[in-house]
Amino acid sequence: MRYSVETDRPVRRGAATPRFTPRHLALLAACLLAVFRAGPLFASAVSMGRVESVSSDYALDSVRNPALLTGRSVGVSFSLIAIYRPMFLDTDNSVLRTASSIIAYPINSSNSSYTAAQLFAGFLWNSGESAFGVGVGSTGKGQYMESRDDLTVGQYLSTTHTTSVNPALYLSYSLRLSGRDSVGIQAMSAYSNTVDRQREFNSSVPQVTRSETSASALVTAVTAGFRHRMDRAEIGVMLRSGQLAAEWITASAEYFAASSTRDDYSHPARLMYIQGPGLVAGVNAVITDSLGACMEMEITAPVVFRRKMPAFIGTVGFYFDEFHRYRRDTAVTLRGGLEFSPNSWTNLNLGGGVAYGNGKSKGEVFDSRRIEQGIFTCYATLGMDYRFTERMAVIVGVSYIMTRTSIEMMIYDSTPFKFDIDTKTNAIDVYLGVSLGL
């Protein structure tokens, strides 16, 4: 964009002070516009509220809407984003009550250590008419998490060390139908493993129980995507199949009291449909040459499945199978963000989202347990993309996540109990990424 400003040469008369005229103001405005000229909108979606159906995450579109792949530059590209969680704080306001609710015991729980990190990577081969992508991501859980939780209820104490690993592999293909429309298909395969090491102590008996439970699963899902481009906007749609999992569990436990017992447990893989089908729809619009906005909604259908879990009775020294029936109700998520491009090499991004879901579970073996759970999450993202060249960009950013969990659990035994659990967690994630055209 070119600018032209005409100025007259002032006539000096003695030592008079130069005046600031409207012509000087026009010259200053022209200089500012020359520096902050509108550049292309190319913000990474991770900074725009983590939208998935529209916008772009460079080659990381391989783990998002597969129809976006043909919208990238023709050729081969690679993208990588590392996410680390340096802060995790939780507050707990929970109570254990008897059935009559006359006696109440405060539940004191704390998280003494927490570490979480994720690594997303994508390779993209785009011929212009079709594109193929390979990506590494997650199933919605964090790829790696390690924590220690302490719980105290009266004379009962427990410490739990949890380690969770959940990497996922994505294969995506996109086909351009016309200059404005493209479709895509994506297959996801993931491995999930969660290990809980727990130590329980009851000073009123006294007794000590040490246990280790490892739950592993292979998870698969398929997603179909569609993208329609307009002059200054785009629409994206994703249809998710839901998640099918094959889970197997191993466990071991030791019980120490007047006499000691020990037992091991394992069961073969069981198929479960653990997440219902979903629909994601979003729109991305260019408001001005330097300002863009996007918004999307995701709805996940309810699902019911049955899970077999090990339960250890230390006094008799063996495991038994405890079946739980789970119901996950409809979950709704809203995401969106803004991007501002002050020049042709920098994008500033701001976004956020809210999500809510609830579920129920019921277990019946020697006792009857009913659990109702509701989870509300809101988060905000702030980031910057800096483009060194047309084929190289760096992404930096930070996000804040708040999660509120409410759980009501009834245990019907010789003495019925009710747990009212209300927890709130606050976390900060920082991320750093790079995108390269090869």
Provide mean pLDDT across the span 314-335: 85
Domain assignment present for 213: yes
Provide mean pLDDT across the span 328-343: 93
Domain assignment present for 86: yes
pLDDT in tens, 128-167: 899 999 999 988 778 999 999 888 877 788 899 999 999 9
- Rounded to the nearest 5 degrees, what angle is found at the Cα of 437, between the Cα atoms of 432 and 438? 120
- Residue 425 scores a pLDDT above 70: yes
| Per-residue pLDDT, 249 | 94
Provide mean pLDDT across the span 120-131: 94
The first and second tokens of residue 13, run together, are: 């008369």
Domain assignment present for 33: no
Question: Distance (Å, rounded) from C-alpha 219 to C-alpha 63?
Answer: 15
Which residue range is the domain that position 141 belongs to? 40-437
- Strand ranges (DSSP E) for 177-242? 181-202, 207-229, 233-240
| Per-residue pLDDT, 223 | 98
List the CATH number of the domain containing 289: 2.40.160.60
pLDDT in tens, 344-384: 889 999 999 999 999 888 775 555 678 888 999 999 999 99
Domain assignment present for 24: no
- Residue 401 scores a pLDDT above 90: yes
Question: Distance (Å, rounded) from C-alpha 246 to C-alpha 257?
Answer: 37
CB 30 within 8 A of CB 3: yes
The first and second tokens of residue 33, run together, are: 């516009």
| Per-residue pLDDT, 19 | 52
Q: In the chain, how many domains are there?
A: 1
- Rounded to the nearest 5 degrees, what angle is found at the Cα of 221, between the Cα atoms of 219 and 224? 165
| Per-residue pLDDT, 364 | 59
- Residue 2 scores a pLDDT above 70: no
Domain assignment present for 218: yes
Q: What percent of the chain has pLDDT over 70?
A: 84
Question: Distance (Å, rounded) from C-alpha 328 to C-alpha 96?
Answer: 25
Domain assignment present for 4: no
pTM for this predicted structure: 0.85
pLDDT in tens, 286-297: 999 889 999 999
Task: Name the residue with higher pLDDT: 256 or 175.
Answer: 175
Element (H, E) at 280: strand 278-288
Residue 32 pLDDT class (50, 70, 90 cuts): very low
| Per-residue pLDDT, 65 | 95
Question: Quick one: the chain helix, strand, coil %, rounded to 5?
Answer: 5, 70, 25
Question: Distance (Å, rounded) from C-alpha 180 to C-alpha 177?
Answer: 8
**DSSP code per residue over 167-182:** -EEEEEEEEE-SSSEE
The average confidence (pLDDT) of the chain is 83
- Residue 338 scores a pLDDT above 80: yes
49 residue type, one letter: G
Beta strands 233-240; 278-288: pairing state: antiparallel
Question: Distance (Å, rounded) from C-alpha 249 to C-alpha 33?
Answer: 63
- DSSP class of residue 44? B
Domain assignment present for 106: yes
| Per-residue pLDDT, 28 | 44
CB 252 within 8 A of CB 264: yes
Provide mean pLDDT across the span 98-105: 57
* CA 421 remoteness from chain centre: 23
pLDDT in tens, 105-117: 667 777 788 899 9
Domain assignment present for 236: yes
- Residue 298 scores a pLDDT above 80: yes
Residue 208 pLDDT class (50, 70, 90 cuts): confident
Burial of 159 (0-12, 13-18, 19+ CB in 10 A): middle
